[in-house]
Amino acid sequence: MKTNLVNLALGLAFTAGTVSCQSQKNNPVFEHQGDTMTVVRIASPAKYLLLPVQESSNEGQVKLDTGSPADTYMDVRLATDSVEYYVPFALPQGAAEAVVVVKNVAADALCWDSIKVADTFDTTNRDKFRPVYHHTPLYGWMNDANGLVYKDGEYHLYFQYNPYGSVWGNMHWGHSVSKDLVHWEHLDPAIARDTLGHIFSGSAVVDTKNSAGYGENTMVAFYTSASDKNGQIQCMAYSTDNGRTYTKYENNPILTPFDGLKDFRDPKVFWYEPDQKWVMVVSADKEMRFYSSRNLKDWEFMSGFGEGYGVQPSQFECPDFIQLPVDGDKNRMKWALIVNINPGCMFGGSATQYFIGDFDGKEFKCDTKPEVTKWLDYGKDHYATVCFSNTGERTIAVPWMSNWQYANILPTKQYRSANSLPRELSLYTKDGEIYMAADAVKETEALRKDEHEVGSLVVNGESRLEELVPNTDGAYELSMDITPGASQLAGFELLNGKGEKVNIYLDMKENRLVMDRTESGITDLGEPSKFNVHEKETDNHRMKLSVNYKNDFALGTWAPLSLCEGKTYHLNVFVDKCSIEIFVDGGRIAMTNLVFPNEPYDTLRFYSEGGEMKVSDFTVYKLGL
């Protein structure tokens, strides 16, 4: 056995910020047991062991050893030859000693000289692309929104979370709460990875009936435990402190696939009033399966839907199932099954489709033929869309704002991924078909901190520049009506001083709205790394524009204007430091795309081709929290 004692100086600076390190008694002692096994001992431990991360390193396994069978290894890419940032690993408080076991990390790795102990972890933002008003984790990786539920004046946003690195891994349920869907308070993770596996996506309900027996109005969460050993199994946990902490059901799992299916995950649970029962929808490879229960613990299979429907062949994920009035008529209700798929997006990668139909408490019957595909968003960066439960007559959805083709290699380090703006969902009819609109929730109006009324202007072939609200910090909203008139192209470019731009226009010849980000800033994200989920689609799943694809990121996206009415289009365009979201005519078209400009877009260039374009009721709002 080789034992090394490393003394750490006070006040060391590190990539993720400056921390105050503890006195000698907190210094870790490393016992290297062979080449890749190390026991770390900390006497009178501080709050955190700060672990140095290098994303290109192989995963090591790190475990707080308490002697309990529940002790679980976490996968951490500990630095081998350079430190990119640090992550906090919580230590027991009040203990005489903390013991941390590390496997599969070489004894000569740089991390052993760089590990620190501290009572604080600095989460001050250091990423230039961190959004101003979109929800992000303070640090670490985030993907799917989970367990969205409203209770006692709070919106609970749980999410797939890796607290030990800014790439996918160690799935926990991270947790943030909000009273207004705009300002978010970050809380400790609510459900942690355990010996059953990663904590994958799921849902949460308020058990007003005390069906599960944990008390009236208890919050009950449903999630997938995923591991190579156990496969993907559905589990349950309950909270008696308004969702801050959860107790896992002692008899988990509550549901396993009856046919040994590998991809069986993301349970969505809701109360079905006509039959006085709970219904669970689970993604099962390329379909959805419906189950029922009276007590939230024992589940019976009812039916399946989806085989051959929509984009094929694509993995069905993250279902949601909601009932909405058509055109606001509460006497005409329809069910909408939201299905997130990967791959399958018309522009490559992951996306959200939906199906409209009827549900009799057992089976879902779709109104359209299997080959019909309806998209909830026409951008490249809109996925894993799920809805809050317990919100009454409002149906509010939150998407993940990224794409599995490049999610792990976005140009940020302290954190990765954000949520799109919350959207209110509704159904409308167009040409005899029922479609779903997704509009930014009205609460976003509270973000407006300054207003610049431009009014109206006419563009007839010639370019016209408009300066935006100064000092926006790259966070603003454009609200305008565009009447293309006889123009074949009518639109505008968002530009910055470096010549980077995003082109947004109405292509009246092709009858579509286009957002082109090929020259938006950083567009070559590099080759997908070994931990990135990256799948190519065939050309028939990728609708080419007049520009060439440089890579999976540098492209344009488009949406059919046939979803809208009239000859004037109302646009709300939300710009944040790394994203642009467009909502047309109250969300009949929604389009979400990431952008990474080297400096904020601060200028607008209007243009038209082939005729006169009118812009009216044009207002620019500076946005902030």
Q: What are 208-243's pLDDT values in tens digits? A: 999 999 999 999 999 999 999 999 999 999 999 999
573: closest CA among 564, 582, 561, 586?
582
- Neighbour count for residue 227 (Cβ, 10 Å): 14
Work out the widest C-alpha separation in the chain, in whole angstroms.
Answer: 81
Fold (CATH) for 2-118: Immunoglobulin-like (2.60.40)
Total-model pTM: 0.92
Give pLDDT, residue 606. Answer: 94
Whether residue 83 contacts residue 53, with contact meaning beta carbons closer than 8 Å, is answered with yes
Report the distance separating Cα 56 and Cα 470, nearest Å: 40
349: closest CA among 549, 519, 597, 530?
549
57: phi then psi, degrees, rounded to nearest 5: -75, 160
β pairing state of 396-401 and 418-419 = antiparallel
CATH of domain 446-623: 2.60.120.560
Q: What are 284-315's pLDDT values in tens digits? A: 999 999 999 999 999 999 999 999 999 988 89
Fold (CATH) for 140-405+415-440: Tachylectin-2; Chain A (2.115.10)
Give pLDDT, residue 18. Answer: 32
Task: State the DSSP code for 488.
Answer: S
Q: Look up residue 249 and give its two tokens.
A: 């059901």
Domain extent listing, the chain? 2-118, 140-405+415-440, 446-623
Report the distance separating Cα 134 and Cα 420, nearest Å: 7
Q: Look up residue 251 and give its two tokens.
A: 């008899």
Strands (E), 54-178: 60-64, 74-76, 85-90, 97-103, 116-118, 140-151, 154-162, 172-178
Q: Which residues contact 266 (CB under 8 A, 6 or more apart)?
A: 144, 200, 201, 202, 224, 282, 283, 317, 318, 319
Whether residue 487 contacts residue 481, with contact meaning beta carbons closer than 8 Å, is answered with no
Is 144 a residue of the active site? yes
Q: Residue holding tokens 């812009």?
A: 615
Task: Catalytic residue, from 144, 285, 507, 576: name it.
Answer: 144
Q: For the chain, which ranges sit under pLDDT 50?
A: 1-24, 529-549
605: closest CA among 471, 502, 514?
502
237: phi then psi, degrees, rounded to nearest 5: -145, 160
Report the distance separating Cα 438 and Cα 146, nearest Å: 19
